[in-house]
Amino acid sequence: MSTIDDDDEGGLRRSITGKQLFFYTLGDVLGSGIYVLIGLVAAAVGGAFWIAFAVGVSIAAITGTAYAELVTKYPQAAGAALYVNKAFGSRALTFLITVSFLSASFAAAGSLAGGFASYFATLWASPPTLLVTLLFILVLTVVNFIGITESVVMNMVMAFIEIFGLLIVLFIAIWHIAAGDADFAILTEFDTGGTNWALAILAGVALSFFAMTGFENTANVAEETIDPHRSFPRSLIGGMITAGVIYVLVSMAAALTVPVDDLAGSEAALLEVVKSGILPISSDFMETLFSIIALIAITNTTLVAIVTQPRILYGMANEDVVPGVFAKIHPTRRSPWVGLLFSGLVVGLLLVVGTVAPEVEGTSIVERLALVTVVFLLFIYALVIVSCLKLRGKDEDERAFRANTPLLLVGLAGNLAILAWSVYDDPTSLLWCAGLVAVGVVLFLVEYFFGKSNRPPGVERGEPTTESRGDL
């Protein structure tokens, strides 16, 4: 029996199997967030900070069930923007979702660049942090312009390197436990500085949620997945749960092997585990090895963000939402070079402003931009769950996956609670969010009032056309 529906003919080629989709999801979620943010989560909660990761991955997994239901109903390469448009039919809201996703990608790239600089400093401390972050983004932008061979093999190699680094941390903890030196009581201790433990966990979840994101990208390959009605629910949710279990175990391992104060005070917290000297191996060698692994993990995740940004702008330009110049493709490299250049400039500006702003706000650039990313994504996730509930009974057949309704309501409440706490605890994040959204609004207004549409007669602004789909 064929796994390709008749109505899929003429669309993208369905070639991704269920197993490949599982590893794609695992690779997306199991990115570099835990390498960058684990120390900040430990500072917010104390030795029991693994609970923050457990709560965060639970809420993210529930959100993933909403994506799984919607993907089996609308197996198309559009993601949250498609679902919100289907549910509400509002161009303004759809535009806001798209701009929010783009803004989250800008902020995430900036935060990861800060994390890259922290690990890079362990190898070479001389260059200024801002210089390292800007050069990091510049190099990845140039690489993207030259062209990237995006293959399953390359993605899996990078994912395995990331996992290998986390396995090193777990092995060190196992060695420590086997020697009888582990104090498991630390896993139940809260050091919240006088804050209620529940609020401390909520604060930790808000930070740890950055490490849980990435699964939403899986929805964008729905149109290229074999038998998505069967493959997506199992692969998407399974990949998220697997990543979550690894995160919780790594958090426990870090707490058992290194004093929480050392983790909280480090900009490269997992490196503290490797430097602890627990293994009978040269600490200098292990530190260098792990730093390189962390740099590869962060580079991989940041590169994915930088690949995504100009392509979102490219798609928006093709629909006359932003100036048409963003739809320009380099004649030989076939890359959306104008959008790529613009994206690099926006991320660079975030890094420059974020380097100065902490002097006033008292927040590191990594934490600042991570929280901005989380605020955007929590808003998107909440709307996806609402869209899922609103679309119940529409466009359904016997093959569609149906998420558990009570769990969806729990997930919605969880997303909104984390969002509300994030804004309450750090209202400045709204200013950063507003600034990024304003960039999108300005581009929209420029196109609306000054742009010249090349759309065929009868096709309104904002409606996709087959002619506008360039070959990247």
**pLDDT tier for residue 471 given thresholds of 50, 70 and 90:** very low
DSSP 456: P
Angle, helices 197-212 vs 405-425, to 10°: value is: 100
- Is 215 inside any structural domain? yes
Judge whether 119 and 291 are in contact, CB under 8 Å: yes
Average pLDDT, the chain: 83
Which range scores top for mean pLDDT: 89-93, 118-122, 159-163, 230-234?
A: 118-122
Angle, helices 283-318 vs 152-178, to 10°: value is: 140
Judge whether 285 and 294 are in contact, CB under 8 Å: no
For 16, phi and psi rounded to 5 degrees? -90, 120
- State which amino acid sits at residue 433: C
Place of tokens 């989709």: 21
**What pLDDT, on the 0 to 100 scale, is given for residue 469?**
38
β-strand partners of 16: 225
**pLDDT tier for residue 232 given thresholds of 50, 70 and 90:** confident
If we measure between CA atoms, which residue out of 355, 385, 448, 422 comes closest to residue 65?
385
- Is 466 inside any structural domain? no
- How far, rounded to the nearest angstrom, does the alpha carbon of residue 368 sit from its chain's CA centroid? 15
> Which CATH number fits the domain that encloses residue 79?
1.20.1740.10
Whether 259 shows a pLDDT value over 50: the answer reads yes
**What pLDDT, on the 0 to 100 scale, is given for residue 9?**
45
Could you give the CA distance from residue 255 to residue 390 in angstroms, rounded to a whole number? 42
Residue 132 domain boundaries: 13-446
Q: What is the pLDDT of residues 301-342, one digit of tens each?
A: 888 788 788 878 887 887 778 888 888 887 776 778 888 899
- Is 209 inside any structural domain? yes
Could you give the CA distance from residue 144 to residue 304 in angstroms, rounded to a whole number? 10
Burial (CB count within 10 angstroms: exposed 0-12, middle 13-18, buried 19+), residue 164 = middle
- Is 468 inside any structural domain? no
Q: What is the pLDDT of residues 376-402, one digit of tens each?
A: 999 999 999 999 999 998 877 777 888
Would you mind telling me the total number of residues written for the chain in this entry?
472
- Ranking 133-137, 255-259, 362-366, 414-418 by mean pLDDT, the lowest is 362-366
Whether 241 shows a pLDDT value over 80: the answer reads yes
- pTM (2 d.p.): 0.86
**pLDDT tier for residue 354 given thresholds of 50, 70 and 90:** confident
Written as six digits, the tokens of 140 are 């990845």
Judge whether 205 and 50 are in contact, CB under 8 Å: no
- State which amino acid sits at residue 103: S
How much of the chain, in percent, has pLDDT values that exceed 70?
Answer: 86
Q: What is the pLDDT of residues 85-118, one digit of tens each?
A: 899 988 889 899 989 999 999 999 999 999 999 9
Place of tokens 């796994």: 3
- How many structural domains is the chain composed of? 1
- Is 308 inside any structural domain? yes
Whether 467 shows a pLDDT value over 70: the answer reads no
Could you give the CA distance from residue 387 to residue 359 in angstroms, rounded to a whole number? 40
- Is 333 inside any structural domain? yes
Could you give the CA distance from residue 50 to residue 54 in angstroms, rounded to a whole number? 6
Q: What is the pLDDT of residues 166-205, one digit of tens each?
A: 999 999 999 999 999 999 999 999 876 666 778 888 888 9
**What pLDDT, on the 0 to 100 scale, is given for residue 449?**
85
Could you give the CA distance from residue 414 to residue 181 in angstroms, rounded to a whole number? 37
- Is 455 inside any structural domain? no
Q: What is the pLDDT of residues 149-160, one digit of tens each?
A: 444 455 567 778
- Is 453 inside any structural domain? no
Whether 422 shows a pLDDT value over 80: the answer reads yes
Could you give the CA distance from residue 143 to residue 108 in angstroms, rounded to a whole number? 19
Which range scores top for mean pLDDT: 139-153, 171-185, 205-219, 348-362?
A: 171-185
How much of the chain, in percent, has pLDDT values that exceed 90?
Answer: 39
**What does 381-409 look like in DSSP terms, one character per residue?**
HHHHHHHHHHTTTSS--TT-----HHHHH
**What pLDDT, on the 0 to 100 scale, is given for residue 200?**
83
